[in-house]
Every structure is written in structure tokens, then in C-alpha cells.
Structure 1
């Protein structure tokens, strides 16, 4: 049996050149357009302020927050609310670790919009979690993409839960926003 392999000399020069040029084209690195892989312009993550107790306002519990991570100028903290400085789309997220036996616990993330003549509150995200009776500890996490406008304020509140026990640990209870555009 004859060996059926070709050497470089056996291949027609024209065919070899075509193959080499195809390999060069395939192996070329494509330069990405600038900005095609950009990081978020701004983000803000809040954790519980362990020096303060949660604030009870009527039928709402408001967790005291402190800044744990921040970048950029599009988002800031003002009086326990996240304030949006630039219009755009944002990833909003929040988690609370509840330590109370009850049927259902949860929190709401809402947006406040202000104008000279009116103020509106809009519920953006809601998290509900059934609490086990035998070991009353369960997290409730929610997150979503929302369109926000300059001047909007975000807050995380716990409704109808004046006897709620909340974990004030930074890794268990947090609230934040990431600018997407």
C-alpha cells in the first residue's frame, strides 16, 4: 500500500497560497468597537446601618442604610433613599433576611417622582416570602430593570410588619442600583 500523504511540494502553489491566505484571514484578531464592552457608569449598594434601629412609620418599617460600595455620580444616597441623577435604565435589587415567624413577610421597592405641583409613588418591585414556623429565618430577594428619571428617589420598605425581626448583617440585608446605559 502506498502512503497517501502530500508534501508541500506536491500541492499546487496556487492552492497553497489560497489556503495560507484563508488561514491568515481566520486568525486575524478583530478589533472591538470602543465602548462595546463597557462597565456600568454608576452603581450604589447599601447595607444596613447597624448603629440605628429600623424606623416604624405608620404601617411601614424602613431600614436604615449606609453606603457599602459606590461608583460614579448618577446615583446617590439622601435621607435613606437612593436618588437618581441621570435618566436611564437601571437594575434595582434588594434583599431582606427576616427572622420572624409569620405567614408571609416581604418588602417593596418603590419610586418617588417629584414635580412642583405633585408627588407620585410607584411600586417597582415586590418580594413576598412564606416564613417557616419551626425556623423563622428566610431571605426575600427581588431585582429588575426599570426606567428611572433624574430626581426619582427609591426606597425599600417593609409593609404591615411592626413586630418584624430583621437581620442587620451586611451580607443578609442590602439594597442597590446599577446604571445600565
Structure 2
């Protein structure tokens, strides 16, 4: 309760803070729940499946980015002067399967952390299990990198040292 009162006084005391800014801050701080968004992972997978093997890797990445930008959800927030979010809604964090293909256990950890959490739905887990993991498990940069590093480093990584 005391924290909310301090926050309210802080926002009210900001010089030039408009009602729009107060409302947007309230929505951002107290209204949104951090979630995982599977949209980017699904679109990137579709693009890679469509173009992989038809062009060089730099061109493939460019085509995948173009596909992603042409198909992603563009969030238009009421009262925002800046268009877009990193996901289809505020506080929706995309995944990057080309860098690290998360396991379902990773998703459980993200969902159950007490402080810095991201809510993961059963549908998110289904998509990860049925679409993302089968395609990216052996293609992700982390997987490729781990295959090149010495066994001692891999053991340290698995133990959480890196």
C-alpha cells in the first residue's frame, strides 16, 4: 500500500506529466503481465522451412526477417505515440529459437519463477513441443556452438556456470 502511494506521488510530481502519460504508466506498471509470445518463433520457423536450402545463409536470414516483418502482429496501443511492441501485446516476450531452442523445462522455469517470470500457457508449450523443438533443436546456434566446444566446457555449461 505504501509503495503504491509513493508511486502515485512520484507520477503526480513529474513536471509536465500528462493524464495520457499517467494512464500509460499505470497500464505498464500495474496492468500488464509478462508473458511468452510464440508468434516470432512460429513465423521464423515458417520462413526457414520455406527458404532453407534455396539461398545462402545471409540471404536466408534476410528473407526470414522480411517474412517476419510482413506477418507479425503490430500492436497499436491506445494513446501511445510510438507504434509497436516486441511482441503482439505489451509485456509479451518473443523467443529466439535460432539462437537457443528452449526446452519445455525452460518454459516451466520461466512460468514458475517468483520475481522475474513470464507466463507460459499450455498452448505455448504445445507449439514449442510440436513445432519449434522438432525444427530448431539441432539448428540453434547454442546447440551448434556446444557441439564445437570441449567436453569440459559443456559440463560447466550444463552445471549452470555459463
Band of TM-score, shorter chain = under 0.3
User: TM-score, normalising length from structure 2?
Assistant: 0.22
Higher helix share: 2
User: TM-score, normalising length from structure 1?
Assistant: 0.20
Higher strand share: 1
The one of the two structures with greater contact order (alpha-carbon pairs below 8 A, sep at least 6) is: 1
Based on CA coordinates, which of the two structures has the bigger radius of gyration?
A: 1
